[in-house]
Amino acid sequence: MKRFFAQIGIIAVFSSLILAPVYAQAARHPSASEKLHGKKTAAKAKNARKQAAPRVVAAPKPPSFGQLAGLHGAHDALDLKSSVAFVVDQDTQEVLFRKNELAVLPIASITKLMTGLLISESKLPMDEMITITQDDVDMEKGSSSRLRVGSELSRGELLHLALMSSENRAANALGRSYPGGLPVFVNLMNARAKMLGMMDTSYVEPTGLSSKNQSSARDLATLVNFAYGDPVLRELSTSTGHQVAVGHRTLQYNNTNRLVKNPSWEIGLQKTGYISEAGQCLVMQAKVAGRKLIMVFLDSAGKFSRLADAERVKRWVESIPAPVTKTLPLASVVSDQKIVTN
């Protein structure tokens, strides 16, 4: 009997020695059910952390000046999303469509059309190299730019980028490098506007980042009509894309108005603009149904709605009868009441 218990003891010892690694390995590698339980526990903990963490809510976009003035409450036959619109036949001066066209609103980068006009009329050398400086950095809205401080571009390249891609540092550099500097340039912008009869227009800087750059749709139609006579502005503003070499980099820029690439459009001059105070803006000279039209859309609510508004006007003009020839001075076309916002 003693021998039997001794043998049992020996077997137990050997069993413990043999099975110990197995038990250890099992401890290191849990079963499938244990794994599933562990995953569920981890998922619950993760969800608990998510629920406990404060949610980051994006700040609401501030209303535009047009929204504050109640201009979006005005309805029109074409159901445009722009609170301000003005369409005129460039040859006959016939007003085809009007909506709050005398409201004075921020015009964002439509400003750059006047900037470009002055630079083109200045006859300054377009091959003169201009350096982007810290003074050209946007301190108004904090917008970004691929033109780094220290970059050198010709005046012609800066003009191209300002008109086609709405490059803010390019536009500011054009004004800053003008003889006499920015103060002289801004004074010239305002003087040129008055010479053109743009009595509702005022500028404080050459980019449009400031909401104090303001105008009416009627005034902007006058500017587009005049600027269309400049072949440089026509070519650069409707360019679909352009590459510039900046140091060791080659930068590709594209037009901010995708309609210039649309084969159904024949656009002779254009400029887009946006800041929150102005909403989405667009001015164009375009040929539609054999008619040369000037279109102005201001304070559009959505990112693409200004283009959709242009498409609506185009389809509408294509559907109406041929025009009756008559001549009216553009500056004499007014509404009964002027709307001014601050």
Mark whether 166 is an active-site residue: yes
Token code pair at residue 21: 């690694």
Q: Taken in order 132, 136, 139, 143, is the CA torsion positive or negative?
A: negative
Mark whether 112 is an active-site residue: yes
Q: Which of 109, 165, 177, 237 is catalytic?
A: 109
In sequence order, which residues have a C-beta less than 8 Å from that of residue 87 and are 6 or more positions away?
A: 95, 96, 97, 98, 293, 294, 295, 296, 313, 317
Please tell me whether residue 88 adopts helix, strand or coil conformation.
strand
Q: Taken in order 275, 210, 268, 91, is the CA torsion positive or negative?
A: positive
Comparing C-alpha atoms, which of 125, 153, 120, 179 is closest to residue 244?
153
Rounded to whole angstroms, the Cα distance separating 324 from 331 reads: 20
Q: Which of 99, 112, 271, 314 is catalytic?
A: 112
Q: What is the DSSP string of 7-19?
A: HHHHHHHHHHHHH
- For residue 109, the number of C-alpha atoms closer than 13 Å in the C-beta half-sphere is 27
Residues 204, 206, 210, 216, Cα dihedral to 10°: 80
Q: Taken in order 322, 324, 330, 335, is the CA torsion positive or negative?
A: negative
Please tell me whether residue 287 adopts helix, strand or coil conformation.
strand
- For residue 228, the number of C-alpha atoms closer than 13 Å in the C-beta half-sphere is 21
Mark whether 194 is an active-site residue: no
Token code pair at residue 193: 């506007």
How far is CA 203 from each of CA 90, 113, 158, 207, rounded to the nearest angstrom? Answer: 25, 12, 20, 10
Q: Which of 120, 166, 210, 300 is catalytic?
A: 166
Q: What are phi and psi of 214, to 5 degrees?
A: -135, 155
Catalytic residues: 109, 112, 166
